[in-house]
Amino acid sequence: MMAITGLSMAARAQAVTDRAEAEKILRMLPLKYTEAKPLPIKMPTPDEVRLFRVTPLVISNLDYTKGFGHTDLITS
C-alpha cells in the first residue's frame, strides 16, 4: 500500500451534445491505442453512448512512498 502513486482529480463534467463533435471523438479513440488489437465489435455511435468533456479544477499527485496519504497539489 505504501507504494501507491498516481493522480487524484476533481473536475467538472459536461455532456458532449454536438453530434459532429461526438462522432469525431469516437473516430479518434482507437487512434490512442494503436498497439491494441481491433475489438471484435463495432465502435458505438453517438446514439449508443454518452460522452463527457472533463475540465479539471484540482489535481493532486499522490505519492505514498513519501508517507501515508502524501499528496502534492499541482498548479498551473
Q: What whole-number distance in Å separates Cα of residue 46 and Cα of residue 30? A: 15
The per-residue pLDDT for 60 is 95
Taking Cα atoms as reference points, which of 42, 54, 45, 73 lies closest to residue 15? Answer: 54
| Residues 21-72 pLDDT 10s | 999 999 998 888 888 888 788 889 999 999 999 999 999 999 999 999 999 9
Taking Cα atoms as reference points, which of 68, 74, 61 lies closest to residue 3? Answer: 68
pTM of the model as a whole: 0.67
Sorted by sequence, the CB contacts under 8 Å of residue 58 that are 6+ apart come out as: 9, 10, 73
The per-residue pLDDT for 59 is 95
